[in-house]
Chain A
Amino acid sequence: MVESKNGNGRKRVDENRRTTIKILALAAMLSAVDVTVMDRDVFKSMLKKVGLNDILGEESKFSHPEYGTSLEARARRKEEELKRLCMDAAEIICEDKGEGSTECSLAREKCSKIHVKATPPQKGKKYAMALDVDKCIGCRRCEYACVMENNTPWNMGMDWITVLEVSREGVAELQDAKKDYISAPKPGKVYVPVACQHCEDPPCVHVCPVVATWKDEDGIVLIDYDRCIGCKYCVVACPYGARRFNLVKPKLEPVKLNPNMHIHGNIIRPVHVVEKCTWCVQRTRDGGVPACVEACPVGARVFGDLNDPESPIRQVIDEYGVFVLKPETGTKPKFFYFFGGAQTPRRGEEGGE
């Protein structure tokens, strides 16, 4: 049977090409899904501190023209549509639980509060986040807060933050990282929450064929859900596995809904678009802090404006020095990791683990 295939030369070429393409696609997918595969030398090079001058010197090459009246109008349309959908869902709740029930009135109140913003980036701001790996205890409260704040579906592994458990001893091998640990913190482990790194040179933006994703002036990488065609190139391109593809029709739950929405942020996403962490654009563009920063019980996360010398992020960079994940990819992330020194639980303290 082998001969019969080889008899046709043209067919063989086709076959070869197809396998090559298949293997390439598989390799690309694996490298995207797996944040964790990395060898020892690469990991050592990863732990090279990035200097403040390098960080401040980096300039974004991308921006998105569409802000202002047209986007505002689109936001208003979306707001009306969402309010209608939400009210429909609220009616079902009211029928179920009765008109006088608290759920019913709460659902209606939430629906009437829905507000879709189209806030443009503030001039002169450049956001960054840093995470103290010594303090992080892997409790996943940031994941939960993120899900609630961003109206993310809970099924299908859509949560935007993934906390990895990595060994602290010796050279930490990211390939041994564990996502589904049950109890934490364990001695000898560090916990590395990974979400969108908001790179200065984001590969996901390069590959998008329809300019549906871009890096804004204030440093946040955003997605226009109406432009996204769901081709998933960006999911594959991201070296950190930070992007999620929306496989199911989103469920609108009025009681748990977060009515404070941004059109490029936590608005209820349509089905079959790509989504990811937006640094809670609905909060941060107006001066707030992301939900994960607020929820962290140990205060391991620091968020601020890189251009402001008084901001906490600058203090962290000056005082401790910061690392980035996978510097060899040249993405220049704006999500930093640092070792603050004070470990939770304190080492050598009885009952501390």
Chain B
Amino acid sequence: MKELLMLTLAVLLLIASTASLHIQASSNDNGVPVSNYVNVYPCKTCHANFQPSATTNVSVYHGINLTVGPHRGLQCINCHNPESGMMKLQNGVEIAFYGLHNNSMVMKINSLCGSCHEKEYESYLKGAHGNETFTCAGGMVEEVIGYNGVTYYQHYCPEDHGYTPEPAKPCIACHNPHNPTMYPPTTLPPPSERPPPPNEDYILIGGVSVLTAGFALIAGAAILNKRGR
């Protein structure tokens, strides 16, 4: 019996891993590392047929280890709902990925994080945690390639009034749920085309030589003056 189960599992794995969606997403547009592989989605291709108890905190298959990192000690079941074929999270929201699903779907995951991180969630809704954007009736947002190829999102609003601020990004855009520490994105060079500052060594050498030249001049002037008299 046990062997049979293992066999089916192995076969399943084989099929699913070849048939799985291959969407590679190692980091989002901020350079924040997101899920190791999103290519396991949709989960129910495997989990409809077998439901691991989900009470562990290490998954070899998914490469998720909750014995390390800030979320160590949590179990998969704290956030994932095994009854739904792993398609749902514990707040009843379907699993979604930042950049793959549209923003409103991913935003629904926030209340899951909020169930344990009340304070941050409250600040987040207020606009004090995470960054804010705004929406307006009939408005739209357009991507513009700006200076140095950095994208910028321009807002168009038909009306001049009634812009409403709201959180710009879902929690999981900044925090990977399995390793929520936020890693900083890359640093951009200073935006203006002004010339770089001179090397500090040159400033020192230049300063010293100007000083010596100055002293030489003074000495020369003094000597000449005496001679003139």
Binding site for B on A (CB under 8 A): 1, 113, 117, 119, 137-141, 143-145, 147-149, 154-159, 179-185, 255-256, 258-260, 283, 286-289, 293-299, 301-304, 310-312, 315-316, 344-346, 349, 351-352
- B146–A148 contact, CB under 8 A? yes
- A302–B128 contact, CB under 8 A? yes
Complex Cα gap A305–B156 (Å): 23
- B155–A315 contact, CB under 8 A? no
- A289–B132 contact, CB under 8 A? yes
Residues of A contacting B146 in the complex (Cβ-Cβ under 8 angstroms): 144, 147-148, 256
Ranked nearest first, the 3 interchain pairs of A and B with the lowest CB-CB distance are A312-B128, A287-B163, A288-B134
Complex Cα gap A274–B165 (Å): 30
Identify 12 residue pairs between A and B in the complex whose beta-carbon atoms are under 8 Å apart, listed by A's number.
A1-B225, A137-B184, A143-B190, A144-B146, A144-B152, A184-B187, A185-B184, A287-B134, A288-B155, A298-B182, A299-B169, A315-B123
Complex Cα gap A304–B183 (Å): 27
Residues of A contacting B156 in the complex (Cβ-Cβ under 8 angstroms): 113, 259-260
A309 to chain B, nearest CB (A): 11
- Given the known inter-chain contacts A256-B146, A288-B155, A303-B132, please indicate yes or no for A155 contacting B192, CB distance below 8 A: yes
Contact with A along B73-98 (1 / 0, CB 8 A): 00000000000000000000000000
User: Which residues in chain B, 10-37, are within 8 Å of chain A measured between CB atoms?
Assistant: 30, 32
Residues of B contacting A180 in the complex (Cβ-Cβ under 8 angstroms): 190, 196-197
- B126–A312 contact, CB under 8 A? yes
Candidates B154, B155, B181, B193; contact of A352 at CB < 8 Å: B181
**Interface residues of chain B: helix, strand, loop or mixed (majority):** loop
- A260–B131 contact, CB under 8 A? no
User: Which residues in chain B, 144-196, are within 8 Å of chain A measured between CB atoms?
Assistant: 144-148, 150, 152-157, 160-165, 168-169, 174, 181-194, 196
Residues of A contacting B145 in the complex (Cβ-Cβ under 8 angstroms): 256
- Given the known inter-chain contacts A159-B192, A182-B189, A315-B128, please indicate yes or no for A344 contacting B165, CB distance below 8 A: no
Candidates B127, B174, B193; contact of A154 at CB < 8 Å: B193
- B188–A293 contact, CB under 8 A? no
Complex Cα gap A145–B132 (Å): 14
B132 to chain A, nearest CB (A): 5
A112 to chain B, nearest CB (A): 12
- A302–B134 contact, CB under 8 A? no
- B192–A158 contact, CB under 8 A? yes
Complex Cα gap A346–B183 (Å): 8
A290 to chain B, nearest CB (A): 9
Candidates A148, A298, A351; contact of B174 at CB < 8 Å: A298
Binding site for A on B (CB under 8 A): 30, 32, 70, 123, 126-134, 136, 144-148, 150, 152-157, 160-165, 168-169, 174, 181-194, 196-197, 225
- A310–B187 contact, CB under 8 A? no
- B131–A295 contact, CB under 8 A? yes
- Given the known inter-chain contacts A185-B184, A260-B155, A289-B133, please indicate yes or no for A155 contacting B150, CB distance below 8 A: no
Complex Cα gap A179–B197 (Å): 10
Contacts A288-B155, A299-B130 supplied; 14 other A-B pairs, CB < 8 Å: A117-B160, A143-B191, A147-B191, A155-B192, A156-B193, A185-B184, A256-B144, A260-B156, A287-B162, A287-B164, A297-B32, A303-B127, A312-B128, A346-B70
A40 to chain B, nearest CB (A): 22
| Chain B, Cβ-Cβ closest to A158 | B192
Candidates B136, B164, B185; contact of A139 at CB < 8 Å: B185
Candidates A181, A289, A298; contact of B134 at CB < 8 Å: A289
B169 to chain A, nearest CB (A): 8
- B181–A148 contact, CB under 8 A? no
Candidates A256, A294, A316; contact of B132 at CB < 8 Å: A294
- A183–B187 contact, CB under 8 A? yes
Residues of A contacting B144 in the complex (Cβ-Cβ under 8 angstroms): 148, 255-256
- Given the known inter-chain contacts A143-B191, A144-B146, A345-B183, please indicate yes or no for A286 contacting B131, CB distance below 8 A: no
Complex Cα gap A197–B136 (Å): 28
Residues of A contacting B187 in the complex (Cβ-Cβ under 8 angstroms): 137-140, 181-185
- A297–B131 contact, CB under 8 A? yes
Complex Cα gap A3–B182 (Å): 71
Residues of B contacting A352 in the complex (Cβ-Cβ under 8 angstroms): 181, 183
- Given the known inter-chain contacts A139-B184, A316-B128, please indicate yes or no for A179 contacting B190, CB distance below 8 A: yes
Complex Cα gap A312–B131 (Å): 11
Residues of B contacting A296 in the complex (Cβ-Cβ under 8 angstroms): 131
- A286–B162 contact, CB under 8 A? yes
Candidates A137, A156, A312, A351; contact of B127 at CB < 8 Å: A312
A321 to chain B, nearest CB (A): 14
Residues of B contacting A256 in the complex (Cβ-Cβ under 8 angstroms): 144-146
Complex Cα gap A181–B191 (Å): 12
Complex Cα gap A298–B182 (Å): 8
Complex Cα gap A113–B156 (Å): 9
Complex Cα gap A27–B86 (Å): 68
B27 to chain A, nearest CB (A): 12
B93 to chain A, nearest CB (A): 22
Candidates B133, B147, B182, B197; contact of A144 at CB < 8 Å: B147
Complex Cα gap A182–B187 (Å): 7
